[in-house]
Structure 1
Amino acid sequence: MQVRSRRGFLVAAAAITAASSVGACRRRATGGDPLDVSASATLPAAPESLAADGTTIVLGNPSAPLAVRVYEDLSCPACAEFETEGTGPYLKRAARNDALQLQFTLGSFLGPGSKFAANALRAALDQNKFAEYHHLLYRHQDRTRKAGGFTRDRLLGLAIMIPGLRGPEFDAAVLETKHRDFVEASEEALDRSPVEGTPTMEVNGVVIPTSNQALYTDRNRLYRHLRKQVQA
């Protein structure tokens, strides 16, 4: 377990095990339980929106029976593991399959690179490219961190890999830090939250402690946990 701290926040790493899936075809991946979505399912993109609080980025159907909130910092190595090898990809698939609403609170306590990345992700939301760009940034986080972290230029360079993302509006938002108010407000929301580390999940308002590592690393364990919440 890796640990980092800032104002009491602990960044707990996890050994991770699931894979992501990209594709677009049908709304439901299964004929039964929409939470039981496989990595090979072909799915449409989830709707993307900014919640009324101005700090929560939402993927999925607002009328879904579950709301799962994830607290992250884009420069956090444990968050990158969660989002590339852990249960993060499963949550995105479940949101794409109408099983849940996936909410993100983006912190930036690990330095300027985190702030630049959170700003760029908010700009990507305006282009309906948040989910793709979010995954891309975490996939390239380790290499970027070794090169000195996220910068505006590196964020634009990575954005080229997302078809339709680069353009005058997005580029200006990244270069001029257009969404600095969002970045600051999101960090304040993380500070006010009850979480003790990143990444941390909240299911229908109940925090899943980072000490409960299985739910962050094991798709089947997380599925069973979410299923119980639906049945409760």
Structure 2
Amino acid sequence: MQVRSRRGFLGAAAAIVVASSVGSCTGRGPRGDHPLDVSADADLPAARESLAPDGTTIVIGNPSAPLSVRIYEDLSCPACADFELDGNGPYLKQAARNDALQLQFTLGSFLGPGSKYAANALRAAVDQGKFAEYHELLYRHQAKVRRSGGFTRDRLLTLAGKVPGLRGPEFDAAVLETKHREFVEASDEALDKSEVEGTPTMAINGALVRTDSRGLYDDRDRLYRRLRKASATA
């Protein structure tokens, strides 16, 4: 988990310990009695991707869905990669694709220029309807990229070439020219002004999931029960 002080975020990270229960995600059918009953490998259509009116939130799924889950993260944060690849990140994306919730992202960029370039590129991917695919891809390559010095514009374009339909004149120019720098700064400021103490941090219907509830980040069944409860009162 990336932590911050009053002066901002610090670079020390402690990876999330991924519980074995994460593997139980595939035990449920593709669609059960509730939209939250969805397996990690269910074949579902891509979810709608949009930028919220606040100008800093990227939304996957129906932006009018009463149940919302917000994720605060930095693309250079190793613990965020653990959450998005081996924790409950994939389940939440599936739930958004299954119309169970709107999944919101606030992208910080406190870990250096590479994080800012990545956040800018991800904002550009929203315009192409490819945020979710590109987001996962960047995390899959994060460790290797960090060993090479971090995300750069050229590396981000090279990785974008692995996402069918993402590369093109508009996207490439947005990455090379850092077109969405205002979004990047505003999103980082939104995270900095929040009550978030580190990344990744989750908020369910606006209520932060504190660090003493880390099991909700990697235990699929525990998160499912919390979301069902929140859904019933939304």
**Which residue does the alignment assign to 2:132?**
131
1:207 is matched with: 208
What 5-or-longer segments of structure 1 have no aligned partner? 22-27
Tell me the alpha carbon deviations over residues 64-113 of structure 1, each in whole angstroms, 9 at most, x when there is no partner.
Answer: 23111000000000000000000011100000000000000000000000
Q: CA deviation at 1:61?
A: 1.0
| Alignment partners' CA distance in 2, 1:201 and 1:218 | 13
Tell me the secondary structure at the aligned position of residue 211 of structure 2: coil
Which residue in the other structure is 1:229 paired with?
Answer: 230
Is 1:167 matched up with 2:155? no
Which residue in 2 is equivalent to 1:24? none
Identity %: 71
Report if the CA contact (8 A) 2:2-2:198 is conserved: no
Counterpart code for 2:216: L
1:188-218 CA-to-partner distances (Å, cap 9, x unmatched) read 1001111111000000010001231110011
TM, length-normalised to structure 1:
0.91
- The aligned residue for residue 86 of structure 1 is 87
Q: For residue 25 of structure 1, what is the aligned residue in structure 2?
A: none
Corresponding position of 2:77: 76
CA contact (8 A) 2:73 2:199 kept: yes
> What's the CA shift string for 1:98-156, capped at 9, x where partnerless?
00000000000000000000000001111110000000000110010011100001000
Structure 2 matches for 1:1-232, cutoff 5 A? 4-5=3-4, 7-9=7-9, 12-17=14-19, 18=22, 29-232=30-233
Shift of 1:176: 0.6
Higher helix share: 2
The worse-fitting range, judged by mean Cα deviation, of 62-71 and 214-223 is 62-71
Aligned mates of 2:62, 2:9 — CA distance in 1: 30
